[in-house]
Homo-oligomer: A and B are copies of this chain.
Amino acid sequence: MPVGSDSPPIATRSAGTFSLAELVGDLGGELIGAADAVMTRIGPLDSADAQTLSFLAHPKYRRQLELTRAGCVILSPDAASGLEGRCGIVTPNPYLYFALATQWWARRIRPSHSAGIHPTAFIAPGALVAPSATVYAFSCVEAGAVIGDGAAVGPYAHVGEGARVGEGTRIGSHVTLGYGCTVGRFGLIHAGVVIGADGFGFAPTGGADSRWEKIEQLGAVRIGDHVEIGANTCIDRGALDDTVIEEGVKLDNLIQIGHNVHIGAHTAMAGCAGVAGSARIGAHCTVGGGAIVLGHLTVADHVHISAASVVMRSITKPGQYSGVFPLDDNVSWEKNAATLRQLHGLRSRLMAIEKKLN
């Protein structure tokens, strides 16, 4: 059994403390109260104690401020009067400050992994692994693949022939990065993600007894910088050209991205969403959980699709779009659903009455 130092690509938390002065010294903001107050944790207002740094995202939740026992609260200038003697960090965008504080805290409490290749890993001849990169237990980097500076390849990750992992990008456990596919810099690919499986492409042979003839998928997947991809999400390689995920895109877990899809920069999609082949989604969009975008459609920039909605036509104007059957008790639903199947007929009957009355 091989023995060696081993830590996960996403390193563990551990105990630690910080003073408010240290935090504000690094991240800015106006500190109200004792600079030497010591915090042990970042937490929500309702479960906070005197050593917890918390945050008030919106002034409308101000009521929570009265009730919390948090040692310090990050809040906006117009909520600062509610501190009433508590410590606070005043900043124009408390939620953003909170995000940066979690990053600052994580860097302090998580042990930094040391660069190097685990003795159980397999690096094929002709693969290029930067000396500052970390390759974890049982991972496999194939010929022609390149692992960039400071990147991490998680346990059981398979980096295919000629694939590229950019600087600082962390690849989780059991990830498949298919041959010839590329991931940009400072990305985070969670466990079980499959990048570069074949797109779903077949030509029918025709007739009543038609079979499916495979269309070999000759493209790859190209992923930009600062992209995060959630666990077990799949991004297929293109049929002829490449599938493209632009910079700053955030994908949640169990999402399906079909071949030749193009997702614009800084778009975010929640879990279980699916985008069918050749759809083109704009930049700065959001797609809710379980939503489906059909193939070959175009969705404009700044479009927001509600959870579980189905996009069946292209969307050319920014805005929020929805299409979900409202939940009801089962008996009411059955009645309304049955009537819905007659809806077009009801409309005709209504029109007949209108005609009669006019």
A interface residues with partner B (beta carbon < 8 Å):
1-3, 6-8, 10-13, 42-44, 47, 93, 95-96, 98-100, 102-103, 105-106, 117, 119-125, 137-138, 140, 142-144, 155-156, 158, 160-162, 172-174, 176, 178-180, 188, 190-192, 194, 197-198, 200-206, 208-216, 218, 226, 228, 230-232, 234, 236, 239-241, 248, 250, 252-254, 256, 258, 266, 268, 270-272, 274, 276, 284, 289-290, 292, 294, 302, 305-313, 319-330, 332-344, 346-347, 349-350, 353-354, 356-357
Q: Decide if A327 touches B350 in the complex (CB within 8 Å).
A: no
Q: Decide if A174 touches B172 in the complex (CB within 8 Å).
A: no
On whether A289 and B274 interact (CB within 8 A), knowing A121-B1, A252-B200, A357-B353, the answer reads yes
On whether A329 and B321 interact (CB within 8 A), knowing A215-B102, A240-B44, A292-B289, the answer reads yes
Residue from A119, A124, A337 whose CB has the most chain B CB atoms within 10 Å:
A337
Q: Decide if B353 touches A343 in the complex (CB within 8 Å).
A: no
CB distance from A197 to the nearest CB of B (A): 4
CB distance from A122 to the nearest CB of B (A): 5
Residues of B within 8 A of A271 (CB): 200, 234, 256, 258, 274, 276
- A336 CA to B176 CA in the complex, in Å? 44
Given contacts A210-B266, A321-B329, A336-B344, 11 further A-B contacts (CB under 8 A): A12-B160, A93-B206, A102-B218, A172-B176, A190-B198, A200-B271, A212-B248, A274-B290, A309-B325, A310-B324, A322-B327
Number of copies of this chain in the oligomer? 3
Which of chain B's residues has its CB closest to A317's CB?
B329
Residues of B within 8 A of A121 (CB): 1
Residues of B within 8 A of A228 (CB): 198, 214
- A302 CA to B204 CA in the complex, in Å? 13
Q: Decide if B230 touches A232 in the complex (CB within 8 Å).
A: no
Which of chain B's residues has its CB closest to A309's CB?
B327
Residue from A100, A144, A254, A327 whose CB has the most chain B CB atoms within 10 Å:
A327
Residues of B within 8 A of A42 (CB): 218, 240
Q: Could you pull out 11 A-B pairs where Cβ atoms are within 8 angstroms?
A: A8-B178, A103-B214, A105-B216, A156-B156, A156-B174, A176-B191, A202-B268, A310-B325, A312-B326, A325-B340, A339-B346
